[in-house]
Amino acid sequence: MGVRYPTVSTTTVLGVSISGAGESVMCTTPPLNIPLDFAQVILLWYCLWLTNTTGTTVAWRLRRGTTTAATLINVSNTLPTGAAIQMAHSGIYVDTPGAVAGQQYSLSCLLAGGGGNAGGLDVAMIAFAL
């Protein structure tokens, strides 16, 4: 007997140009239909990006939805950046969205320090329910 866990994933970089003045969505999963109401959803993500010349920190955010106005589900962590370098970040998080269908998740970043735009080079995100 096999078990199939509902899973969705993406490798489409939406944040090709990361704003130096605000939050940018890096990627969004396709809709996920969880097998049971209030089932746990595990989120795994990875992002490779090129910083801008004046950015000082980046904060990674996981959101329930497709925009920067969607519900924030994690405690945003702030990490230092360097000027015009490639950086790779990744993470894991567990969410319990409730009794929903077609739930989408987004990874976004908030780049602080002003300046020009940074660039998203590669991204991967997977959401699966247990």
Q: How many residues does the chain have?
A: 130
Average pLDDT, whole number, for the chain?
91
The sign of the dihedral angle between the CA atoms of 127, 128, 129, 130 is negative
Decide: helix, strand or coil at residue 26. strand
pTM of the model: 0.92
pLDDT tens, position by position, 58-114: 999 999 999 999 999 999 888 998 888 899 999 999 999 999 999 999 999 988 876
Residue 118: CB partners within 8 Å, gap ≥ 6? 17, 18, 20, 49, 50, 51, 52, 55, 111
| CATH 2.60.120 describes domain 12-97+104-129 | yes
The predicted model gives 35-50 an average pLDDT of 94
* Domain ranges across the chain: 12-97+104-129
Structure confidence at residue 112 (pLDDT):
84
Residue 55 pLDDT greater than 90, yes or no: no
**pLDDT value, residue 1:** 58
Cβ 8 vs Cβ 79: under 8 Å:
no
Per-residue confidence (pLDDT) for residue 90, from 0 to 100: 96
Whether 51 shows a pLDDT value over 90: the answer reads: no
pLDDT reading at 52 higher than 70: yes
4 vs 11: which has the higher pLDDT? 11
Q: What is the mean pLDDT of residues 21-44?
A: 93
